Amino acid sequence: MNPQNGASALDDFLRARPFNVERLHAAYQRRQLRPSEVVAYALALARDSEPGLFTCLLEERAVAEAQASDARWDAGRPLGPLDGVPVVWKDLFDVAGTPTTGGSETRRHAQAATVDATAVQRLAACGCIGIGKVGLSEFAYSGLGLNPHFGTPINRASHDGHRAPGGSSSGSAVAVAAHMAWMGLGTDTGGSVRVPAAFNGLVGFKPSIGRFDKQGVFPLSKTLDVPGPIAHTVQDCAWVDAALRGQPLQALKASDVSLLSFVVPINLVFDGIEPEARAAFEALVERLRAAGAQVNYRNIPAFDELAAITARHGTIAAAEAYAFHQTLVDGPEAQAVDRRVLARMARGKTMSALDLLTLQAARTRLVQECAALLGDAWMLCPTVVHIAPLVAPLEADDELFHRVNLRTLQNTLPGNFLDLCGVSVPMGTGDAGMPLGALISGAAGRDDALLSAALGVERMLAGPGNDS
């Protein structure tokens, strides 16, 4: 999938590590690379990618933005560390002149957006270069990333068959893992940034609700949706975080791991866990303790209450998804929707006003109770209890698909309901050499401290002399 341009400084750069914004920025500063050649390379890779990874290439816009970035670097006036950095957008973000498909056949030819989403505007203002819009689970309603309409992106970590890329922000993660972009913007309603990050060996940041402006982002659940970045490092995610809030882009300071305190839930998060995932997580805990961190195992009552109340009343996401898509779900075009997504949205049809109000009241209370329980500590658990599954069995068996999908989202869904900010960081590999992630979460509004804590853990895991 490499462009046929022979050996070059860019080829050498891409083969080296770490693959992060800091190193790209340094290459621009030293005049080793220019944004226009980086973008040309990324576009060449994108053109040659599998169906389903990109829903739309932004070639003219990307070339123009790269030329403008070249000019700023030539004049010695770059806009900051993100100037000239390629980014991809989950096809829920409005980009002027393109339809926002939501990964649905029913929106493939939707009217083009007239203005960029706020997130697109803010990253562009920092010099980021949009390579294209990327695929996702239809309407962002699955944690596995399968899409029968546009195609399912290929998980680049897999060497034994086509494994799930994770969802719903599948294309955002795969494009970053495949070095077609340095950052991918996704959305997270129940794990849709953190899961694909974990499945692809990347970092994914789910912010507190309300931290980022959602103008121009196609919704699944207006209550639970949050935009979030996927990248190779915590620092890269932190730069995106600052850019999306209109804040100065500064290097993040890592927390001293010896001063951190972690709470590991003893309920829910280990249900059905694969042995290698459990072993990798326990090895992480031992490393944290060896570094001086406090790690305590305890029951999280909110998890049990959340499970009971959703079993009885349904979910906020199902109610809001059905309300938003009611005309489609109940109309003739329903047959064009992925049957597995349609089944999930249709569950909202059976919910009553009492169900939704009960869920909302419980959520308000449980958010406060969980925040009080955590205090200054960080919740720690496996992001997903298994590696990325093979796609073929999921396509052949809808019951298996739904069972695996729920298991995939098991540890991330509570974070959206409880408004926990969270970062998934790579913690090693499991069966078939597939990546595993560790999820660090905190109470709403503690995003800055969370990113610093996650950077501290990331550096601890890298160890001295390891730049990966």
Q: What is the rounded distance in angstroms from the CA atom of residue 318 to the CA atom of residue 167?
A: 17
pLDDT digits (tens, 9 = 90+) for 6-47: 347 788 887 788 899 999 999 999 999 999 999 999 999 999
Say if residue 467's pLDDT is above 80.
no
Instruction: Please pick, among 49, 69, 170, 192, the residue that the annotation labels catalytic.
Output: 192
Q: Which residues contact 191 (CB under 8 A, 6 or more apart)?
A: 143, 383, 408, 409, 411, 412, 413, 415, 416
The sign of the dihedral angle between the CA atoms of 214, 218, 221, 225 is: negative
The reported pLDDT for the residue numbered 5 is 44
**Catalytic site includes residue 253:** no
What residue type is assigned to position 8 of the chain? Answer: S
Mean pLDDT of 422-441: 98
Mean pLDDT of 175-192: 97
**pTM value?**
0.96
The reported pLDDT for the residue numbered 365 is 98
pLDDT digits (tens, 9 = 90+) for 414-426: 999 999 999 999 9
| Helix 35-47 / helix 59-74 crossing angle, nearest 10 deg | 160
**Catalytic site includes residue 221:** no
Q: Which residues contact 37 (CB under 8 A, 6 or more apart)?
A: 10
pLDDT digits (tens, 9 = 90+) for 64-78: 999 999 999 999 999
Instruction: Residue 46: name the closest of 100, 16, 11, 88 by CA.
Output: 88
Instruction: Please pick, among 90, 133, 206, 214, the residue that the annotation labels catalytic.
Output: 90
Mean pLDDT of 352-360: 98
The reported pLDDT for the residue numbered 17 is 85
Residue 385, helix vs strand vs coil: coil
**Catalytic site includes residue 142:** no
Residue 380, helix vs strand vs coil: strand
Instruction: Please pick, among 49, 168, 169, 424, the residue that the annotation labels catalytic.
Output: 168
pLDDT digits (tens, 9 = 90+) for 274-287: 999 999 999 999 99
The reported pLDDT for the residue numbered 464 is 63
Only one residue has tokens 């046929």, namely 4
**Average model confidence (pLDDT) for the chain?**
96
pLDDT digits (tens, 9 = 90+) for 367-400: 999 999 999 999 999 999 999 999 999 999 999 9
Q: What is the rounded distance in angstroms from the CA atom of residue 290 to the CA atom of residue 67?
A: 49
The reported pLDDT for the residue numbered 83 is 98
Q: What is the rounded distance in angstroms from the CA atom of residue 167 to the CA atom of residue 169?
A: 5
Share of the chain above pLDDT 70, in %: 97
Q: Which residues contact 157 (CB under 8 A, 6 or more apart)?
A: 163, 177, 199, 200, 201, 388, 433, 434, 435
Preceding amide of 168 cis, omega within 30: yes
The reported pLDDT for the residue numbered 16 is 84
Q: Where do the domains of the chain lie? A: 14-244
DSSP letter (8 states) at residue 102: T
| Helix 234-244 / helix 21-29 crossing angle, nearest 10 deg | 80
For domain 14-244, give the CATH superfamily. Amidase signature (AS) domain (3.90.1300.10)
Say if residue 290's pLDDT is above 60.
yes
Mean pLDDT of 140-155: 98
User: Which H helix or E strand runs over 186?
Assistant: strand 183-188
